[in-house]
Amino acid sequence: MTATYRQPGVVLTDRRFTVPLDHDDPAGETIELYAREVVAGDRAQQNLPWLVYLQGGPGFGANRFVGRPAWLGRALKEYRVLLLDQRGTGHSTPANRQTLPLRGGPAEQADYLARFRADSIVRDCEAIRPAVTGGAPWTVLGQSFGGFCTVNYLSTAPEGLSAAIITGGLPSLDAHADDVYRAAYPRIERKVTAHYARYPQDVERARRIADHLLSHEVVLPNGYRLTAEAFQSLGIVLGGGEGSHRLHFLLEHAFVRTAQGMALSDAFQEEVQGLLSYAGHPLYALVHEAIYGQDGRPTAWSAERVRAEFPQFDAAKALAGDGPLLFTGETIHPWMFDCDPALRPLRETAELLAARTDWAPLYDPARLAANEVPTAAAIYHDDMYVDTAHSLATARTIRGLRTWVTDEFEHDGVRASGPRVLDRLLSLARDEV
């Protein structure tokens, strides 16, 4: 049943679609996709072009906006917007510790999840586009991993696109996961150094918390085992525009005096578990490194292996000296599947995905070199999540791509900037600036 309802200034419609699990077997098993159509209230009866939004991740459902915030208000000036929950996320057929056992054991679960990368998401888009637009091409807005999907779209089905807008999501076309993380750890260190320069009092606070975790077993209220490494992974917030401030406010109320001595406060633990738990987005942990698999080599817990090449990130070694504790960033590690109760039942599945070698190439350099789709991309200088050099190299391979390289925003610029980022990129794609 299709439901239509209103929020301030917008009309929303819930839309559901059935697509093949494996698009190479259209007569086989199917899954459901959910998307929310959004149109400006005063334009609800007009025949407008479509913009489909591909969320970052992988593993996150589309933004749940109220009204017309962030980039959405700009888009609604001229588009109907489709906020797609990519397969396995949001209201689309879920993939998590509760549902994956329905597939069978870890081997069957891994085979299932191998179909949850950018190539399948793009084929989902093409499967539903005729029902949404009547067959007309649409504009795609890809944020972060959504940008990876957009480059796959340009590689495999450019006829479905009237324009492509990418924010913080131009991937390397050929880098192995090891290359991605060798480039990432120095960027992460720069972000942590900048945080401590802004908030020098956090150097001692972070060391004190890590020292406590190395000598105490701490289990958060949701069952998450908070280790020193898990605490370091809070550095993922430093990739956002307000991330440094959020981390500072978190650290400043970490301890409370109790009858048994100093302990991590309930307020601190509650906030930390919300930041670290993968209960709401387990696919992020399960298939994150798989989004880089293309060349027949396993990803093999790349972030964990490559981290060993950067000993300055070792918490125990940092605390044995007088240097600062380094936080980490957008990295997935095997210990997460021991610490997080939402991931523990999926540890063997994750191991099988890490060992997989049959990943198909995601991008077609020859087709990108012949691109005719108007395309524009925001590249955030020293983006913590996506390497700037990789993005620029890819930009040079996509014919006609207009780039906007800026250090005004972090990775979440399309959200944090209000209408500005989307407005500029639309102008670039239309050759108006």
Hey, which residues are catalytic here? Answer: 144, 358, 411
Of 417, 409, 421, 414, which Cα lies nearest the Cα of 384? 409
Maximal CA-CA distance, the chain: 69
Query: Phi and psi (nearest 5°) for 387?
Result: -65, 130
Cβ neighbours around 430 below 10 Å, total: 12
Partners of 85 in beta bridges: 34
Asked if 428 contacts 167 with a C-beta cutoff of 8 angstroms, the reply is no
Whose structure tokens read 């944090």? Answer: 416
Partners of 10 in beta bridges: 7, 40
Asked if 165 contacts 75 with a C-beta cutoff of 8 angstroms, the reply is no
